[in-house]
Amino acid sequence: MDAPACAYRNSLAEPVAGALSQSESAKEPVADETLAKDRNCPYQQRFLERVSYLPKADIERIKEALTYARRAHSGQTRLSGEAYITHPIAVAGMVADWCMDADTLCAALLHDVLEDTSARKEELAERFSPMVADMVDGLSKLDKIEFSSYREAQAENFRKMLFAMARDMRVVLIKLADRHHNLSTMSAVRSDKRRRIARETLEVYAPIANRLGLNKMFRDLQDISFTLIYPMRARVLSRAIAALRGGGVELLERIERSIQSKLNEVGVKGQIIGREKSLYSLYTKMVEKRRPFSQILDIYGFRIILPDIPSCYITLGTLHALYKPIPGKFKDYIAIPKANGYQSLHTTLIGPTGAPLEVQIRTEEMQHVAQEGVAAHWLYKDSVHSGADLQIRTHKWLHSLLEMQSGDSSEFFENVKIDLFPDEVYVFTPKGQIIALPQGATPVDLAYAIHTDIGHCCLAARINHELSPLRTELKSGDLVEIVTAAHANPNPAWLGYVKTGRARSRIRHFLRTAHNEASTALGERMLYQELLSMGVEPSSVTAAAWERLMRANGDHSVKEIFADIGMGKRLASIAARRLLMADENTAMPANSGTLVIQGVEGMAVQIGKCCHPIPGDPIIGSLKKGQGLIVHTHDCPVVLKSRLHEPHKWINVAWEPASGSLFDVRIGIEASKERGMLARIDTAISGEGANIEHVAMEDATEGAFSRWQFTVQVASRSHLARVMRSLRRIPQVVRINRLYPAEEKP
């Protein structure tokens, strides 16, 4: 199939060097503001020629939008001095090259009027259509809202655009065209702002273009951003490529002739296109491989465009017979397409000079989708396979991004950036479903990709029928089964190795919710304990007193007060006194009591890692903001030092009798080096009903004794004493003691 006349023109992509000099900063020469007043100027005429594929009625609507935009932006100029209207016309021109409909082109022309002029959304809806107004609104920044920082404003604007994208895919196409033109015309912008915008493009907008399959836009955004961040490096690399290009033409022509000859022999007709790696991809390869330009051998490659899929596989076999393939460098994206709809066969061959030669083999349809991605749906409407399936997948992806929302827009922005991964692995579920995950993803990522509840309850994983740790990195082709348990909960340690934004968002949300619930329960107990110690029954406090306390503190509910106390943001003693002061019927007593804990209340009560107290140890608690109550032993060095300087942060704490819980404690054992020693120690510990959590032996090759470190779980101090007595009965044990962090051996 021949590509339509409105296909994305190469002229849209400025040469990389064009982003480096002010004289080349604009795509079209514009004299002054008189252009905006002249309907028949060449600049606008060229744009109208680009929309000639539309019906006459639609072209009239676009002319009306052009007139409206010209009037709205009248008198406005860009930093370069050119009339502002040149920008929306250039953006609409790019969108026209994707053969978009009249609504999209109108929205592209009007995309800045709500943000930069006095135009109103209602007026756009009335004059053009509600759909156009919604798209323009989705593209407008939230300038009228005050944000605490640029980062927060950026994140919130991105969230708004993502919502608009999920409702209407065309919004993102306009946004990418807008970003492309802005990047290409940044000579007049301050250098620090230029670099900031370019970095944002590399981190967010270029990956979005890649995720949508807009390969040409993706490469353009990368290359222009690279030249704005590192102009000198871009110049040097461009010159090196130009010099190599001149000397390698003859070799490339010879390889192309040999490939064409072989294809003719097997009766396959196809188009062979020489291709060159983009500037940014070359630079990143040099950085990742730590190689100079002279050692990058696969700068050039070939793309073979064929009429159908069987021809692709015939061509692959023909090439492998012509040049030896490099093992492990073959990828079949036809059988398993990428998440952005990309399909092709990739192989790397050893060329006639011994240098690697990359070849991509695909059909015409695959070429269209590879270049235009989701826009192929509009470019090639007559094709069954072009873009409809990709649109469905893209909508699902956008909605999965929206599911990662949290109250913090900056966290949401970071999660989305994590999810815009460039490389993927493909794994199989036991039912044969193929799931794409980012490079380095783990079974936890897979569990959350399947369903949030499976992620929350995952306990282990079977990878290719073998039990594996949850932090194992998955590889393409792995068969992964997630093992779940009803009692399992997300572990904070998972955040250290999950790769997808969805998994990270879901884990954080669960931990935040669990922390709040545990803090609320602890805060309630602390406040009630304080009231009881003052001789006041909590149930006797009137609702009016609670209402006055909430009003005074700006709280919305009693639970907020409890949560703040549990997280250490306010003291229970002060809250109790304020509550009683607010109660007109209760006198103010003045003594304080002891808080009784079990030590396993959840995240709101933490056992001090410096002293590891267990039931039976005399303890004291410290309220630390955002962490809740941290329990220490009375003789802990941290306690002795801090109580002198901050006595108000410490409260009396006692263990609840017979809590029935187990606590970690470390013990050191010195014993003779004899066969079966570890088994005897294990028997003694387990015989007293204690669990061994961890064991380590000091590396000592000389001497008659070995030094062991055990982490055992005991219920109390008396339980630990029984364990240690049992260990002392072993004749070979010469020394045993309880260890604290300062005493532990590495």
pLDDT digit string (tens) for 667-678? 999 888 888 888
Provide the phi-psi class of 611: left if phi over 0, else alpha when psi is between -120 and 50, else beta: alpha
Dihedral angle, C-alpha 143, 145, 146, 152, nearest 10 °: -80
Task: Give the mean pLDDT of 599-603.
Answer: 52
Burial code (b: 16+ CB inside 10 Å, e: under 16) for 458-496 equals beebebeeeebebebebeeebebbbeeeeeeebeeebee
The CA radius of gyration of the chain, in Å to the nearest whole number, is 34
HEC profile of 200-226: HHHHHHHHHHHHCCCHHHHHHHHHHHH
pLDDT in tens, 367-406: 877 766 555 544 444 444 444 555 555 555 555 555 555 5
Give the whole-angstrom CA distance, residue 585 versus residue 592.
Answer: 20
Assess whether pLDDT exceeds 80 at residue 735.
yes
Strand 271-276 and strand 300-306: the pairing is antiparallel
Cα gap 218→326, rounded to integer Å:
28
Domain extent listing, the chain: 10-228, 234-385, 391-507, 511-655, 663-743
**Structure pTM?**
0.53
Whole-angstrom distance, CA of residue 475 vs CA of residue 734: 50
Does the pLDDT of residue 136 top 80, yes or no? yes
Strands of 733-739's sheet, edge to edge? 691-697, 705-714, 663-672, 733-739
Is 613 a residue whose pLDDT tops 50? yes
Q: Domain 663-743: give its CATH architecture.
A: 2-Layer Sandwich (3.30)
CA distance 306 to 302: 13
Q: How far apart are CA 359 and CA 351, in angstroms?
A: 11
Closest CA to 111 of 167, 171, 164: 171
Give me the pLDDT at residue 221, please.
92
Could you give phi then psi for residue 551, rounded to 5 degrees? -65, -40
Residue the block writes with tokens 């709280």: 555
* Mean pLDDT on 699-707: 71
Render pLDDT for 499-554 as a digit per residue (tens, 0 to 9): 887 788 888 778 777 767 777 777 788 788 778 877 788 877 788 888 877 776 67
The type of residue at 25 is S
Q: Are 242 and 234 within 8 A, CB to CB?
A: no
- Most confident by average pLDDT, 20-24, 133-137, 337-341: 133-137
Give me the pLDDT at residue 612, please.
Answer: 79
Q: What is the mean pLDDT of residues 124-150?
A: 71
List for the chain the helix, strand, coil content (%; round to 5).
50, 15, 35
Name the active-site residue from 116, 123, 276, 389: 116
CATH for 391-507?
3.10.20.30
Contact (Cβ atoms closer than 8 angstroms) between residue 715 and residue 742 = no
- The per-residue pLDDT for 361 is 92
Say if residue 26's pLDDT is above 70.
no
Catalytic residue, chosen from 28, 58, 115, 670, is: 115
Angstrom distance (rounded) from CA 223 to CA 20 = 12
> Is 116 tagged catalytic?
yes
Confirm if 616 and 647 have CB atoms less than 8 A apart. Answer: no
Where does residue 721 rank: exposed (0-12), middle (13-18), buried (19+ CB within 10 A)? middle
Range name among 26-30, 232-236, 441-445, 497-501 with the lowest pLDDT average: 26-30
Q: Residue 276's beta-bridge partner residues? A: 300
Question: Mind listing the pLDDT tens digit for each residue in 250-279?
Answer: 777 888 888 888 888 888 888 888 777 788
Question: Mean of the pLDDT values across residues 114-137?
Answer: 87
Do 296 and 240 contact (CB within 8 A), yes or no? Answer: no
Cβ atoms of 490 and 511 closer than 8 Å: yes
Is domain 234-385 classified as CATH 3.30.460.10?
Answer: yes
Give residue 545's pLDDT: 81
More confident site: 16 or 136: 136
Q: Catalytic site residue 288?
A: no
Q: Closest Cα to residue 482, out of 430, 521, 522, 533?
A: 430
How far CA 589 is from CA of 269, 532, 533, 576, in Å, comes to: 96, 10, 9, 10
For residue 741, what pLDDT band results from cuts at 50, 70 and 90?
low
Which pairing describes strands 480-484 and 595-597: parallel, antiparallel, or unpaired? unpaired
- On the question of a common fold for 10-228 and 663-743, the answer reads no
Distance CA 385, CA 365 (A): 7
Q: What's the pLDDT at 345?
A: 92
CA angle 679, 685, 686 (to 5 degrees): 85
Q: Which CATH class is domain 10-228?
A: mainly alpha
The answer to whether residue 68 scores a pLDDT higher than 70 is yes
